[in-house]
Amino acid sequence: MLHLATSLVSLWLATLPPAAFAAGSGPVVHGADGLSYVGTRNTTSRQDYFLGIPFAQPPVGRLRFKPPVAWAPGNTTEVNAAQFGAGCQQATGYVPTNNTLSEDCLTLNICELGQRLMVNSAVSMRYQPALTAITDGVPPGQEAYNAGGSNLGFKDQRLALEWIHKNIEYFGGDPNKVTLFGTSAGGVSASIQTLYNKGKIGGLFRGIILESGPPETDSQTAYSLHALRPDDPVREAAFHLIANATGCLGDPYVFECVRNAPADTLIQANKDVLAPYYRANVPAPTIFGPTYSPDDEFITEPIHDLIHSGKFAKVPIISGGIVPYPVIMISMSYTLQAQLDEGPVFFDGPAVNISSEQDIINWFTARFPALYIGMSNLTSITELLKFYPTSPAAGSPYGTGSETFGRGAQFKRASSVFGDYLFQVSRVVSEEAMVINL
């Protein structure tokens, strides 16, 4: 019988919704280092929650665009864990948030589920999508790399896992039975954690569950997710765009100037990398992407090469797909099926109109600073499209007949292509490589 791990860690990008929490004094857990955590009780589910627990110092000021530094209590002996911490700065509009957004957001939320359940404690973590919705959190390019700012989101997650390993037993969990569970970019993050130190993860987790986020998503497809060298021309062009957007291009200390730029300016620069026609409801792609380098903690070479050479932690893996957030489906006015309809959200936007085959070709060959989908051979694209019927009835969202939901005539066809390209092929390639290299 398959049992879930005693401690389940979930990687979230968006902020968490509020629950029916009781007022007044809450449950207390006495943890490591003499610290006490005062939580709250959910009166509806009758569960204890410990919210907004800091695991790293706020990544602001001199720590902005730097590797995370473990949180230190100072003279504090009691941590108020009764309320959610702020959500990290990120593009908004497609998922509503009920929390304040801030760069001071590196916190954990712990739920004690009870001794009668197979999963005794669950933890969700926030990490630096820092100003974006992807898992790096630092401007691209060689200057950022030289300043120690690469793959910060993954480093945040690793630090959070170290905190969990040290403290989760006090909350009823087992530090030797931790499973990572991530959806979408959280799934990519969970898979990237297996690459730490070429698979030598130090026992911080024993398994991963990936929903719509295989590691090859970073390798096979859009440059927004593709790990590149820090000096790659695409990344250098992206840094040039950011420096220009922040008014730092002519500054003699351009990276330090960018480091001090307002968060909303950086968020807008990330958005402006795409012309309005290419902006989908989901805030991707992004110019803040992963970096590979021989001395990196996680990505020492292209992700595809790491996976196919067996340089990942050999832990049990469950991999699948998930329907995007329900609120997205509501806003789109159509229903999506898990594992199949993962393309539409990346093509559905207020200014997007894919009406012809040429529109599809234009989309897949479009190039911007820090981004291109990866297709350049027109013959290959034309041959690929022959496998996808032009009829809307054959496209994604599947099972919806000839309905186009007010979108362009080729919207559903393009969604089918992109869903397969970004998720289905990536998932199959990853799973096969991981099985072969166990």
Could you check whether the bond before residue 17 is cis, i.e. omega within 30 degrees of 0? no
Provide the residue ranges of all domains of the chain, joining segments of one domain with +. 7-222+291-320, 233-278, 333-436
Residue with tokens 């003499």: 34
Burial class (CB in 10 A: 0-12, 13-18, 19+), 113: middle
CA distance 80 to 239: 39
> 89 is written with which tokens?
């700065």
- Contacts of residue 100, defined as CB under 8 A and 6 or more positions apart, other chains included, come to 86, 87
CATH of 7-222+291-320, one of 3.40.50.300, 3.40.50.1820, 3.40.50.2300, 2.70.170.10: 3.40.50.1820
Q: What is the DSSP letter of 177?
A: S
CA angle 57, 88, 56 (to 5 degrees): 15
Residue 119 is predicted with a pLDDT of: 46
Residue 18 is predicted with a pLDDT of: 42
Distance between alpha carbon 425 and the CA centroid of its chain, in Å? 19
CA distance 208 to 182: 8
> 338 is written with which tokens?
């898990």
Could you check whether the bond before residue 285 is cis, i.e. omega within 30 degrees of 0? yes
- Contacts of residue 414, defined as CB under 8 A and 6 or more positions apart, other chains included, come to 343, 347, 354, 359, 360, 363, 395
C-beta of residue 426 within 8 angstroms of C-beta of residue 216: yes
Burial class (CB in 10 A: 0-12, 13-18, 19+), 316: exposed
Helix or strand or coil: residue 387? coil
CA distance 374 to 234: 12
CA distance 65 to 419: 32
- Contacts of residue 383, defined as CB under 8 A and 6 or more positions apart, other chains included, come to none
| Bridge partners of residue 78, in order along the sequence | 36
Q: What is the DSSP string of 253-319?
A: THHHHHHTS-HHHHHHHHHHTS-GGG--SS----S---B--TT-SS-SS-HHHHHHTT-S----EEE
Along the 438 residues of the chain, how does pLDDT read in single tens digits? 222 334 566 664 333 344 444 555 789 999 988 899 999 998 887 889 999 999 999 999 999 999 999 999 999 999 999 999 988 887 665 555 566 888 999 999 998 865 444 445 566 665 554 333 334 556 677 888 888 888 888 999 999 999 999 999 999 899 999 999 988 778 888 999 999 999 999 999 999 998 877 766 644 443 344 677 888 777 788 788 888 888 999 999 999 999 999 988 888 877 777 777 777 776 555 566 688 899 999 999 988 889 999 999 999 999 887 655 443 443 455 566 655 677 887 777 777 789 999 999 988 887 666 555 666 778 888 999 999 999 999 999 888 899 998 889 999 999 999 888 878 888 888 888 888 887
| Bridge partners of residue 125, in order along the sequence | 11, 108
Distance between alpha carbon 4 and the CA centroid of its chain, in Å? 23
Whole-prediction pTM value?
0.85
Torsion sign, CA atoms 213, 217, 221, 226 = positive
Residue 288 is predicted with a pLDDT of: 63
Rg for the chain (alpha carbons), in Å? 22
Q: First and final CA of the chain: distance in angstroms?
A: 22
C-beta of residue 13 within 8 angstroms of C-beta of residue 47: no
Beta strand segments in 5-100, E: 7-11, 28-30, 36-38, 40-42, 47-54, 78-80, 87-88
C-beta of residue 284 within 8 angstroms of C-beta of residue 346: yes
Residue 33 is predicted with a pLDDT of: 86
CA distance 244 to 376: 28
C-beta of residue 178 within 8 angstroms of C-beta of residue 7: yes
Residue 143 is predicted with a pLDDT of: 82
